[in-house]
Structure 1
Amino acid sequence: MTISRRGFLIGLPLFAAGCQTNSDFENYGPVTDAGYTLKRIPLDKFKPDLRRREVAYETNMPAGSVVVDTPNKRLYYIMGGGKAMRYGVGVGRNGYALAGMAYVGRKAEWPSWTPSPNMLRTNPKHNMQFAGGVPGGPNNPLGARAMYLYRGGKDTMFRLHGTNQPWSIGEAMSSGCVRMMNQDVMDLYERVKVGAQVKILQA
C-alpha cells in the first residue's frame, strides 16, 4: 500500500466522524478516574466549535481567570498573551443564570449534589426525591468535577461543573449552573485555582 493511500484510509474515519482530529480523540476518549470510567464522548453529535480548543481571545481579565460567554455557550480559561482555552458549555434557562463577577471559592472531585432551596421550590416534583443529597459518581448531575462560585465569601449556589447529560452542551436548559463535558471540566479543574476570578457575560 502506498503512503498516500495509507494516509487517506487513516484520515477517512476522521472525516466521516465530522472532521475530528487526533487531539479530539485524545481529549474526549474514555477516562478512568477514582475508580469510575467515563465513556468516549460521541463528538459526531456536537458542533466542532463546542470542542476544547486553544484560541485567540482578547480580554482585560488576567491570566488564570475564567470568562463565561452565556449567550454563545462558551467558556474561556484565560491563558494570557491574547490566548485562551475555549470550551463548549451548557447554561441556564432565561432567568436562571448568574451574571457579573464571582470567584472560585472551592473545588471538588466527584462532588455530591443536593438541590438548592430554589430548585426544591420551583420544581418539587422532580427535585424533592433528591433532597437528601446524591453521592458523587457517574450518575451525579455535577459530573466529575465542580468549581463553586462565591461572592463576598458566600456561596452563590452556582457552579462550573461536569454533567452526565453531555447532549445538553450548547443548550440553555440548566437551573443556572454552567455545564461542561466531563473530560472538559476535568481539564479546566487542573488549570483553575481556588480564588480565580470568574466573569459571567449575559446578553
Structure 2
Amino acid sequence: MTTRRFRIAQAALALTAAMTLAGCSATMDSPNAGSEAVAFAMSKTYPSALPVQYRKTEVVDPTGETPGTIVIDTAEKYLYLVEPDGKAIRYGVGVGKEGFGWTGEAKVGNKQEWPDWVPPPEMLERRPDLPLRMSGGPENPLGARAMYLYRDGKDTLFRIHGTNEPLTIGKAMSSGCIRMINFDVVDLYERVPMGAKVIVR
C-alpha cells in the first residue's frame, strides 16, 4: 500500500471510530433507567453507593498544569480542574470502555445546557430501540450540561457531560465521552470558560 493510500485508510479508520463514539450514550448495552434515572438526575446529593473518592473535593494539584486547565485521568477515573496556588478540584467521572477511549488535547469549543442527544448511525445499528433524537431533559443521557471538545477548530465528537446513571461514575463503560454526576457537571460548567484547555490522559 502506498504512503498516500495508507494515510487515507488511517483517516477513514479515525473518522469511523469518532463517528462510533459520537452521541455519548448512557450505556451501550442497556436502555435508559426510566423514573429512577430521572430521580437521580434531579438529585442534589451523591448516591450512597457511590464511593467517597468519586465525590467532588479539593486536592493538591497532581497534574502540574496551568490554572484553568481540565485534566482527565482515565485510568483513575478523575477529572481535575486546576486552580491557582497548587490546588485542584477533583471530580469522579465515568470514561469510555475498552476500545472506545480517547487521549490527547482539546479545547472547550461549545457549551450547552440540557443538550439534545442524537445517536449516530453506528449506535442505532447496535441499538435499534434508541430514539433518532432525544430532547434535553432529565431522561436524556447527556444530562444537565455538556462541554464539547474541539481540536484545531473541529469537533472531536467527544464531550464532557452529565449522566442520568450516576452509578456509572468511576467505571469504564461509556461510548467514549466523559460523564459526571449532574450537579458536578453543572458546577464544572459554571467554572469553565469557552476555550479552556482539556487534557485527556
1:116–1:157 contact (8 Å) kept in structure 2:
no
| Alpha-carbon distance in structure 1 between the residues aligned to 2:166 and 2:68 | 25
- The residue that corresponds to 1:114 in the other structure is 118
Classify the secondary structure of the residue corresponding to 2:106: strand
Classify the secondary structure of the residue corresponding to 1:80: coil
Cα-to-partner distance string for 1:50-77 (whole Å, 9 max, x where unaligned): 1000100133322111000001110000
Classify the secondary structure of the residue corresponding to 1:173: strand
Task: Count how many residue pairs are aligned between Structure 1 and Structure 2.
Answer: 161
| Alpha-carbon distance in structure 1 between the residues aligned to 2:196 and 2:44 | 30
2:47–2:167 contact (8 Å) kept in structure 1:
no
Classify the secondary structure of the residue corresponding to 1:119: helix
Displacement of 1:42: 4.5
- The residue that corresponds to 2:68 in the other structure is 64
| Alpha-carbon distance in structure 2 between the residues aligned to 1:117 and 1:103 | 26
Classify the secondary structure of the residue corresponding to 1:180: strand
| Alpha-carbon distance in structure 2 between the residues aligned to 1:167 and 1:58 | 25
- Say if 2:128 is the partner of 1:125: yes
- The residue that corresponds to 2:193 in the other structure is 193
Classify the secondary structure of the residue corresponding to 2:123: helix
| Alpha-carbon distance in structure 2 between the residues aligned to 1:84 and 1:103 | 18
- TM-score normalised according to structure 2 size: 0.76
Classify the secondary structure of the residue corresponding to 1:158: strand
| Alpha-carbon distance in structure 1 between the residues aligned to 2:160 and 2:46 | 22
Compared with structure 1, are the counterparts of its residues 158 and 118 closer, same or farther at alpha carbon in structure 2 (3 Å cutoff)?
A: farther
The runs of at least 4 consecutive aligned structure 1 residues that moved more than 3 Å come to 40-43
2:47–2:166 contact (8 Å) kept in structure 1:
no
Compared with structure 1, are the counterparts of its residues 182 and 80 closer, same or farther at alpha carbon in structure 2 (3 Å cutoff)?
A: same
| Alpha-carbon distance in structure 2 between the residues aligned to 1:120 and 1:154 | 24
1:119–1:175 contact (8 Å) kept in structure 2:
no
- The residue that corresponds to 2:78 in the other structure is 74
- Say if 2:163 is the partner of 1:160: no
| Alpha-carbon distance in structure 2 between the residues aligned to 1:187 and 1:40 | 12
Displacement of 1:114: 0.6
Higher relative contact order (CA 8 A, sep 6+): 2
How many percent identity over aligned positions? 52
Compared with structure 1, are the counterparts of its residues 61 and 39 closer, same or farther at alpha carbon in structure 2 (3 Å cutoff)?
A: same
- The residue that corresponds to 1:86 in the other structure is 90
- The residue that corresponds to 2:184 in the other structure is 184
Classify the secondary structure of the residue corresponding to 1:137: coil
Structure exhibiting the larger radius of gyration computed from Cα positions? 1
| Alpha-carbon distance in structure 1 between the residues aligned to 2:121 and 2:145 | 22
- The residue that corresponds to 2:33 in the other structure is none
- The residue that corresponds to 2:45 in the other structure is 41
| Alpha-carbon distance in structure 2 between the residues aligned to 1:118 and 1:68 | 26
1:59–1:82 contact (8 Å) kept in structure 2:
no
Classify the secondary structure of the residue corresponding to 1:167: helix
- The residue that corresponds to 2:37 in the other structure is none
| Alpha-carbon distance in structure 1 between the residues aligned to 2:101 and 2:71 | 14
2:56–2:90 contact (8 Å) kept in structure 1:
yes
- The residue that corresponds to 2:171 in the other structure is 171
- Which ranges in structure 2 are unaligned for 5 or more consecutive residues? 1-40
